[in-house]
Amino acid sequence: MSVYLRSGKGVFMRFESKRTSVKIYTGILIAIALLLVVVFTYPGSCSSGNGLGERKVLGLFSESFQNNLKTKYPASEWPWVRNARMYLTWSSVELQGKGVYDWSAADAEINSALSLGVDSILLTLSLPCPIWASNPNTPGGNPCMGPPKNLKDFGDFCRAVATRYKGIVDYYQILQEPGWDIDAPPASSGIVYYAGYCDWSYMGMLREGYQAVKKASPNAYVASGAMLDEITRTPQAFRTYEILLAGCNQNFSMKVDSKNKIVAVLYHRNKYDGGVVKLRSQGGGKNWSFAGVTTREGFEELLTLQNSEGTGTPTTITFMFSDGTTQQKAVTLPAKSSTTIDVNHAISLATQCDGVALHPYDYPQWWNWYYNYLKGICANNGFPDLEIVVTEIGWPNGLPPDFTPEGQRQAIGEVGVGGLVGAGCRKIWIFEDVDFAPGTSWGGGLTFGLYNYYGSPYPAWNEYKKWQSSPTFPDYTNKPPHLPW
């Protein structure tokens, strides 16, 4: 017998008999109208992205730093937060029409986070999209929770955010949990956080968001959304990671532009039997195009570029995807040589993020298992150094006997966070700062706060402070205490 409960953040838990495990499904139901900003570069701030990838970060999520944390935590505790995380929904900023931005709530929330004396801010750029941008053909019946009709509109939103907060916001995440899409197991219970098929359409949103943020704020760190489609310790749970890290499920054309004349040959490799078939070749020119290329299941594409010149030849490959997005790969072909490009590898998810996000909401003793399993997938696809960032994780403090303050303490302490740190994880953001008001959380009182609603800390808060006091998570330079306008 199973009973499904839902917490205030949209976390679903399945309680079974004591002989079976508790499956925790996490995601976001509510879109918080928070955050962000007008065009600026704050002259006194430290360089937003210098060393961000190398940093070791422990942070805390808040539904509202302004209305929750700052009203429940004593001011003397604020500096321990150190790294703040919050949501920014597209519809909360650009609701009225394209290019019509309302930053008032966003600015207030950013200022609240800055007033804590933080080292960094992580923004999760989230759906829903504004009605004007939605695609009526989105599957699943909720077009605002899927990719927009024009992906460039999403990119323009991301670029506006990154431009306004350059030097203030360090970390970005492109969507929260797109893995919980319309064909993930939780969808059978009506739980959908991405209206579409993540393994087919999410790459377009990531590509637009990543490139837009980098254009506006080159040093910013951009993470993917979390893509577990269920919380089970099985390969199926990691299916979307496997597909997108392998560069699969993409349809596109290619354009090859070279400084000197080259020969370009496209091959198809059957991943099941290893056979290689020459699909087409073009040569004796500087500019070549290949249409109708696919990396669907079983298709692995190889592009061989032959340079007969006596000097190295700079060459650019432009991938033009069926969703309207593009990306490029620049190579220099050595003199009198043949260079083979693994096309799947070149368009992998790993090429469009600085880190891949993971939300391992299983029992805390298994958090590091999820981290290590995903690390193995990255390595198997040729990206052993791709960072895995836990942009959200937490554990309930209530609903005994299954969840207790002591269990939460262990999760934030030596068992959960400690396990992730021991596995090599360098960036972790905890869910969340404060419990929901009594009677307003889902799941019969299921709450995740490190403080209760009345302003008293749980033991897990001391564990959070211990980590922040340790050399594991250094204290970096504080940001300015407020926005410069």
> In the prediction, which pLDDT does 36 show?
31
Q: Which domains are seen in the chain, by residue range? A: 3-246+350-469 (3.20.20.80), 251-347 (2.60.60)
Residue 354's pLDDT band, with cuts at 50, 70 and 90, is very high
> In the prediction, which pLDDT does 84 show?
98
Q: Looking at 14-18, 48-52, 153-157, which range is the least confident one?
A: 14-18
Task: Report the alpha-carbon distance of residue 92 to residue 112 in Å, rounded.
Answer: 18
* 72 CB-side CA count, 13 A: 25
Q: For residue range 279-317, list pLDDT tens digits in order.
A: 777 778 999 899 999 998 888 999 999 999 999 999 999
66 pLDDT higher than 60: yes
> In the prediction, which pLDDT does 402 show?
82
- Of 283 and 138, the structure prediction assigns the larger pLDDT to 138
Task: Report the alpha-carbon distance of residue 251 to residue 139 in Å, rounded.
Answer: 19
Residue 8's pLDDT band, with cuts at 50, 70 and 90, is very low
Provide the whole-model pTM: 0.88
| Average pLDDT value for residue range 141-152 | 95
Residue from 54, 57, 107, 63 nearest 82 by CA:
57
Question: Is the Cβ–Cβ distance between 211 and 161 less than 8 Å?
Answer: no
> In the prediction, which pLDDT does 399 show?
85
Quickly list DSSP for 200-253: HHHHHHHHHHHHHHHHH-TT-EEEPPP--SS-SSSGGGGHHHHHHHTT-S-EEE
Instruction: Give the strand pairing for 313-321 and 326-333.
Output: antiparallel
Residue from 91, 117, 116, 96 nearest 34 by CA:
91
Q: Looking at 98-112, 328-342, 349-363, 394-408, which range is the least confident one?
A: 394-408
Rounded mean pLDDT of the chain?
A: 89
Helix 416-423 / helix 405-412 crossing angle, nearest 10 deg: 10
> In the prediction, which pLDDT does 376 show?
98
Residue 28's pLDDT band, with cuts at 50, 70 and 90, is very low
Query: Token digits for 141?
Result: 């019946």
Question: Helix (H) and strand (E) counts for the chain?
Answer: 11, 17
Question: Is the Cβ–Cβ distance between 357 and 391 less than 8 Å?
Answer: yes
Q: For residue range 411-469, list pLDDT tens digits in order.
A: 999 999 999 999 999 999 999 999 999 888 776 778 999 999 999 999 999 999 999 99
Name the DSSP letter for residue 397.
S
Q: What distance separates the 2 farthest-apart alpha carbons in the chain? A: 75
Instruction: Give the strand pairing for 337-342 and 299-307.
Output: antiparallel
**Dihedrals phi, psi of 165, to nearest 5 degrees:** -105, 20
**Dihedrals phi, psi of 199, to nearest 5 degrees:** -70, -10
| Average pLDDT value for residue range 178-206 | 95
Q: Looking at 22-26, 329-333, 478-482, which range is the least confident one?
A: 22-26
Question: Is 186 strand, coil or helix?
Answer: helix
- Of 49 and 160, the structure prediction assigns the larger pLDDT to 160
Q: Count CB neighbours of 251 within 10 A.
A: 14
Task: Report the alpha-carbon distance of residue 460 to residue 39 in Å, rounded.
Answer: 38
> In the prediction, which pLDDT does 443 show?
66
Helix 405-412 / helix 459-469 crossing angle, nearest 10 deg: 10
Cα radius of gyration rounded to whole Å, the chain: 23
Residue 278's pLDDT band, with cuts at 50, 70 and 90, is confident
